[in-house]
């Protein structure tokens, strides 16, 4: 479903060049739950931006559902982000004076989905993340951080994207609440078959995924599924 071929990303500042990604290659199959882990400055944020169709590589190719994302126009990239990728961020990015239900329906409003249909789709997504219906008409700034993140996950799910891309989704949460959010991702993957890519710098967070890709200095140094290491070294 997702294929990266020899991705290289170089940032230039005057005569200086910084190679954020260095010949990175890997594939992710539909229905996988993968963590991409690395310390600050490792290249994982640059990789996340490419996977999210927010940036293009300097060299190499990125395919999503068979489409060569690296060659798309800005308008085509916007369509990919809108229809094929669901984003979950550390900061939740909810509208604060807007109800939970409306926050979840926002992507459908932009798609001009009829009102009754988008309400039904939002309810399905909120039920999938097990948010109490009593909270659905609360404003998003009237619920807890863990509930806010579940709303953000529901919003990412609502238009049934190919890929859920979660960037440090537990970074603003305490350990217990963070574990609940990670359990939610695990359940969505196992019960609903969602493909999830989790970006993190924490090994204990990455351990929730079924596969862990470790990146350092712009290169993949380890790629492990369960207890089986099937790819090591730089790519």
CATH number reported for the structural domain that contains residue 166 in this entry? 3.40.50.300
State the average pLDDT for the chain: 92
Q: Answer yes or no: is pLDDT of 21 > 70.
A: yes
Length of the chain in residues, anyone?
235
In-domain check, residue 156: no
In-domain check, residue 95: no
Range of the domain at 225: 2-84+161-232
Res 70: pLDDT: 84
pLDDT band at 90 (very low <50, low <70, confident <90, very high): very high
Q: Answer yes or no: is pLDDT of 228 > 50.
A: yes
Res 232: pLDDT: 42
pLDDT band at 112 (very low <50, low <70, confident <90, very high): confident
Determine the average pLDDT of the residues in 202-213. Answer: 96
In-domain check, residue 176: yes
Q: Answer yes or no: is pLDDT of 204 > 90.
A: yes
In-domain check, residue 65: yes
In-domain check, residue 101: no
Going by C-alpha positions, the residue among 69, 90, 73 that lies closest to residue 163 is 69
Residue 42 makes CB contacts below 8 A (sequence gap 6+) with 215, 216, 217, 218
What percent of the chain has a predicted confidence (pLDDT) above 70?
96
Query: Residue 110: how many CB atoms within 10 A of its CB?
Result: 10
Between CA 215 and CA 42 the distance in angstroms is 6
In-domain check, residue 130: no
Domain count, the chain: 1
Residue 86 structure tokens: 């669901």
In-domain check, residue 111: no
Residue 231 structure tokens: 């790819």
Residue of higher predicted confidence among 158 and 229: 158
Res 111: pLDDT: 84
Determine the average pLDDT of the residues in 108-124. Answer: 92
Query: Tell me: the pLDDT tens digits for 25-77?
Result: 999 999 999 999 999 999 999 999 999 999 999 999 999 999 999 888 999 99
pTM: 0.90
Q: Answer yes or no: is pLDDT of 88 > 90.
A: yes
CA angle (119, 121, 127) in 5-degree steps: 100
In-domain check, residue 140: no
């Amino acid at each position: 479903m997702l294929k990266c071929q020899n991705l290289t990303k170089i940032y230039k500042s005057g005569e200086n060049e910084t190679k954020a990604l260095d010949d990175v290659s890997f594939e992710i199959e539909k229905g996988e739950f993968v963590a991409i882990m690395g310390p600050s400055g490792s290249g994982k944020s640059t990789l996340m931006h490419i996977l999210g169709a927010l940036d293009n590589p300097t060299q190499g190719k990125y395919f999503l559902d068979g489409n060569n994302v690296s060659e798309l126009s800005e308008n085509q990239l916007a369509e990919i982000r809108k229809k094929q990728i669901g984003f979950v961020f550390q900061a939740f990015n909810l509208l604060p004076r807007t109800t939970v239900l409306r926050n979840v329906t926002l992507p459908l409003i932009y798609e001009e989905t009829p009102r009754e249909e988008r309400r039904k789709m939002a309810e399905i997504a909120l039920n999938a993340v097990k948010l109490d219906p009593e909270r659905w008409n609360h404003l998003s700034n009237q619920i807890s951080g863990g509930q806010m993140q579940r709303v953000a996950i529901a919003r990412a799910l609502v238009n049934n994207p190919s890929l859920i891309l979660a960037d440090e989704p537990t970074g603003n949460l305490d350990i217990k609440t963070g574990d609940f959010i990670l359990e939610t991702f695990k359940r969505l993957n196992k019960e609903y078959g969602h493909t999830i890519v989790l970006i993190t710098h924490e090994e204990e967070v990455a351990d929730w995924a079924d596969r862990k890709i470790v990146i350092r200095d712009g290169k993949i140094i380890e790629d492990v599924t369960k207890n089986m290491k099937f790819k090591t070294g730089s790519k």
